[in-house]
């Protein structure tokens, strides 16, 4: 009996395969969204969650590069803080059930929730009068990358002394830069189509986000 599936491919080929799978998943979810009625925001957020989890798992070979941060920020912009927090925590938990769950999941959920709240706070600057400001979103996503990584770095205090935290953060700057660069790339790739989907299900994103922050 031959093991026809025992095929070894290079890391580059594996990455290309994973990127192709992510594109296929994104296309399938986009097709699924076409069947949703307008204002089906929770169903849309579920689709966004599936794509974010898939992206994080499939792009795991590239350190700190994943679409989660950008998706969560856009969720904060269009749907407000509370929904972005729910999505952020769900993505962290579900993806870590595959990649590895532990104490760090809490800090990742906290970091992505902070990114979503940030998106809600600056929603009127990112999206106004039916127009998405790509430059501002890219800058916000790059800043959020550093903030997320530094929040997650706090988890090392459970095993290291506080005076080592600055050293740990400094040593992680190359990975922070990868995260920031990845976020900018995802903004260029995903921001417009995701915004088109989200505005279909949230007619007044900026008002929703600001109303939640004020309540």
Determine the pLDDT at residue 29: 74
Does residue 1 lie in a domain region?
Answer: no
**Residue 187: both structure tokens together:** 């903004």
Give the residue-averaged pLDDT of 103-124. 95
Rg of the chain's alpha carbons, rounded to an integer? 18
Q: Above 60 in pLDDT, residue 92? A: yes
Torsion angle (degrees, nearest 10) of CA 31, 34, 40, 45: 30
Question: Are 79 and 43 in contact, with CB atoms under 8 Å apart?
Answer: no
Q: Which domain holds residue 58?
A: 11-214
Does residue 52 lie in a domain region?
Answer: yes
Q: Above 70 in pLDDT, residue 142? A: yes
Can you tell me whether residue 102 is helix, strand or coil? coil
Does residue 16 lie in a domain region?
Answer: yes
DSSP classification of residue 66: -
Does residue 171 lie in a domain region?
Answer: yes
Return all residues near 39 (Cβ < 8 A) that are at least 6 apart.
Answer: 201, 202, 203
Q: Which of 125, 152, 157 is nearest to 138 (CA)?
A: 125
Can you tell me whether residue 39 is helix, strand or coil? coil
Predicted confidence band at 205 (pLDDT cuts at 50, 70, 90)? Answer: very low
Does residue 79 lie in a domain region?
Answer: yes
Predicted confidence band at 87 (pLDDT cuts at 50, 70, 90)? Answer: very high
- Look at 117 and 3; give whichever has higher pLDDT: 117
Does residue 5 lie in a domain region?
Answer: no
Q: How far apart are CA 137 and CA 164, in angstroms?
A: 33
Please write the tens of the pLDDT for every residue from 146-172: 999 999 999 999 988 999 999 999 999
Work out the number of other CB atoms within 10 angstroms of the CB of residue 74: 29
Average pLDDT over the chain, rounded to an integer = 87
Is the backbone of residue 100 left (phi > 0), alpha (psi -120 to 50) or beta? left
Determine the pLDDT at residue 27: 77
Give the residue-averaged pLDDT of 98-107. 92
Q: Above 90 in pLDDT, residue 125? A: yes
DSSP classification of residue 37: P
E strand segments, the chain? 127-128, 131-132
Determine the pLDDT at residue 41: 84
The sign of the dihedral angle between the CA atoms of 107, 110, 111, 112 is positive
Determine the pLDDT at residue 32: 77
Question: Which residues lie across from 131 on neighbouring strands?
Answer: 128
The backbone torsions φ and ψ at residue 131, rounded to the nearest 5 degrees and listed phi first, read: -125, 135
Does residue 3 lie in a domain region?
Answer: no
| 4-8, 26-30, 146-150: least confident range | 4-8
Determine the pLDDT at residue 2: 45
Give the residue-averaged pLDDT of 90-113. 94
CATH of the domain at 71: 1.10.1760.20
User: For the chain, how many structural domains are there in total?
Assistant: 1
Work out the number of other CB atoms within 10 angstroms of the CB of residue 169: 16
Determine the pLDDT at residue 203: 56
Give the residue-averaged pLDDT of 91-106. 93
Does residue 36 lie in a domain region?
Answer: yes
Determine the pLDDT at residue 184: 98
């Amino acid at each position: 009996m031959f093991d026809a599936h025992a095929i070894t491919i290079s890391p580059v080929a594996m990455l290309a395969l994973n990127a192709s799978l992510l594109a296929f998943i994104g296309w399938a979810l986009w097709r699924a969204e076409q069947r949703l009625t307008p204002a089906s925001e929770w169903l849309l957020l579920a689709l966004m969650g599936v794509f974010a989890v898939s992206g994080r798992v499939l792009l795991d070979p590239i350190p700190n590069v994943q679409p989660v941060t950008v998706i969560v920020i856009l969720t904060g912009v269009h749907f407000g803080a509370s929904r972005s927090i729910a999505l952020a925590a769900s993505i962290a938990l579900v993806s870590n059930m595959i990649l590895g769950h532990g104490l760090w999941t809490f800090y990742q959920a906290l970091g992505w929730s902070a990114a979503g709240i940030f998106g809600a706070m600056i929603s009127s600057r990112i999206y106004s009068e039916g127009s998405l400001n790509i430059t501002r979103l890219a800058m916000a996503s790059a800043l959020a990358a550093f903030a997320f990584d530094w929040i997650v770095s706090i988890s090392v205090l459970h095993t290291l002394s506080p005076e080592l935290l600055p050293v740990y953060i400094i040593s992680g700057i190359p990975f922070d830069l990868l995260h920031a660069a990845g976020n900018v790339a995802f903004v260029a790739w995903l921001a417009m189509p995701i915004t088109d989907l989200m505005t279909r299900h949230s007619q007044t994103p900026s008002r929703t986000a600001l109303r939640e922050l004020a309540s």
